[in-house]
Amino acid sequence: MHGSNSHTLVDHLFRYEAGKMVAVLVRMLGVGHLEEAEDLVHEAFYQALHTWPYNGVPVEPAAWLMQVAKRRAVDWIRKKQVRDAHQSRLIKSLHTQVPPPGPSLPDELHDQQLQLFFATCHPSLTGEDQIALTLKIASGFGIHEIASALLTQEETIRKRIYRARKALQENQVVMAIPTGKELTSRLQVVLKVFYLLFNEGYQASHPDWVIRQELCAEAMRLTHLVWEHPRTRRGESAALMALMSYHASRLSSRSTEDQVLILLADQDRKSWSQTLIRQGHYFLHQAMNFKPISVYHLEAAISGQHCIAPSLAETDWSRILHLYEVMEEVQPSPVLRLNKVVVLLQMDRHQEAHRMLTLLEVEPAMHQHHYYYAVKAEYHQSLSEYESARMALEQALLCTSHPSSTRLYIEKLKRLNSFR
């Protein structure tokens, strides 16, 4: 395989296999050695980058990577001179050849991955640290990607990950799926991580992409793992699968070939995946069999309304507004209220939209968010206040560094200038 092709394959495998490999090595080394497990996995991928272009890609590249990581784990254990009987048995088992994928392997990896998710969402960690570490471990996010997903600084993320690893080690956390109330609370964090992972794919922070479909696919795969496991088969899991399915149905129509974002109003609805929309309907129906109703239920229902609407004008905006109002009672947030403004503008309820925008003026986070100024521009333009709309779009430009968003706002400014 050509060098560039093997690099592409390694990148793909890292996104899809690294989390599984870390889960296996953490099970071997213990959660207290999470960082060492990560390093060993990275070394395996580094070895692949430097051997596959010359020696060719193995028949089973994922199994090859796992075998290399396990052998490096053997070396690590030996250097630590672990002598107890358990570790001796472990070293012996590590010498065996990794079997080809068989019926039992997916089930084993399934459990180990879920156990790792719940370990990184341990209650000894703060909620912010849980999410940052799980994004780092389970899905191979870089520091910049995590910072973007969590709307915070990169240095803050580095500190959170350091604190999280230290806490896991000090508390001697083990890999296990919790039970009872602890399962419910920690499942919320696990699902939040997958939600953020999907969002990073749907609205990529990386300057080279508008959309990263592989991240969306990974988030859906991980969420489906949770849904399939009998102990985590909950309404929230199904609702999140429904939400992701609805959003994924529109991925191919969200950007042009040259990475320009296409807004909902301009998308070709005929290109939306009816298979994924039906999948969304299925999971939303499954979710409604569980109580209580979660935010994911409501978000999925909103996305489902967009998917079934023949056009933007024929969307049931009253239904969507009602769902947002219910969601605000469950989990209020400035971004939710900003989304309500968009709905109110579609319904020509400008006075209510103005009141809500005025309330959002006092939210510090909004003044760093380009979407806030984009919505303000939409409000002013709907009232033919073109100069105010232009000023809002200029502020939106100052708040984004993403090339796609920049191009979008420049195009909007050009259209506004035609009204002068």
CB-count burial class (<10 Å; 0-12, 13-18, 19+) for 158: middle
Output 318 or 22, whichever has higher pLDDT.
Answer: 318
Neighbours of 290 (CB within 10 A): 16
* pLDDT in the model for residue 81: 55
User: Does residue 158 fall inside a structural domain?
Assistant: no
Q: From CA 214, how far away is CA 15, in angstroms rounded?
A: 8
User: Does residue 388 fall inside a structural domain?
Assistant: yes
Q: From CA 222, how far away is CA 113, in angstroms rounded?
A: 9
User: Does residue 30 fall inside a structural domain?
Assistant: no
Q: From CA 202, how far away is CA 243, in angstroms rounded?
A: 12
Is the pLDDT score of 98 beyond 50?
A: no
Is the pLDDT score of 304 beyond 70?
A: yes
pLDDT digits (tens, 9 = 90+) for 107-152: 555 677 788 888 888 888 888 888 888 888 876 778 888 887 777 7
| Amino acid type, 149 | A
Kindly report which listed range (88-92, 111-115, 191-195) carries the lowest average pLDDT score. Answer: 88-92
* pLDDT in the model for residue 30: 78
Contact present, 177 and 226 (Cβ < 8 Å):
no
The range of the structural domain enclosing residue 419 comes to 348-420
Kindly report which listed range (30-34, 274-278, 368-372) carries the lowest average pLDDT score. Answer: 30-34
| Residues in Cβ contact with 171 at an 8 Å cutoff, skipping those fewer than 6 apart | 122, 124
User: Does residue 307 fall inside a structural domain?
Assistant: no
* pLDDT in the model for residue 354: 97
How many domains does the chain contain in total? 1
* pLDDT in the model for residue 10: 86
| Residue 50: C-alpha distances to residues 21, 45, 58, 266 (Å) | 19, 9, 13, 45
pLDDT digits (tens, 9 = 90+) for 325-384: 999 999 999 999 999 999 999 999 999 999 999 999 999 889 889 999 999 999 999 999
| Residue 246: C-alpha distances to residues 75, 210, 223 (Å) | 46, 18, 14
Considering the chain, what is the average pLDDT of its residues?
Answer: 86
pLDDT digits (tens, 9 = 90+) for 218-229: 889 889 989 998
Q: How far is CA 166 from its chain centroid?
A: 24
Return the residue matching tokens 């129906």. 285
Q: What is the CATH number of the domain that holds 407?
A: 1.25.40
User: Does residue 169 fall inside a structural domain?
Assistant: no
pLDDT band for 88, please (50, 70, 90 cuts).
low
For residues 86-102, average pLDDT: 46
| Residues in Cβ contact with 222 at an 8 Å cutoff, skipping those fewer than 6 apart | 19, 113, 117, 138, 139, 194, 197
User: Does residue 31 fall inside a structural domain?
Assistant: no
User: Does residue 397 fall inside a structural domain?
Assistant: yes
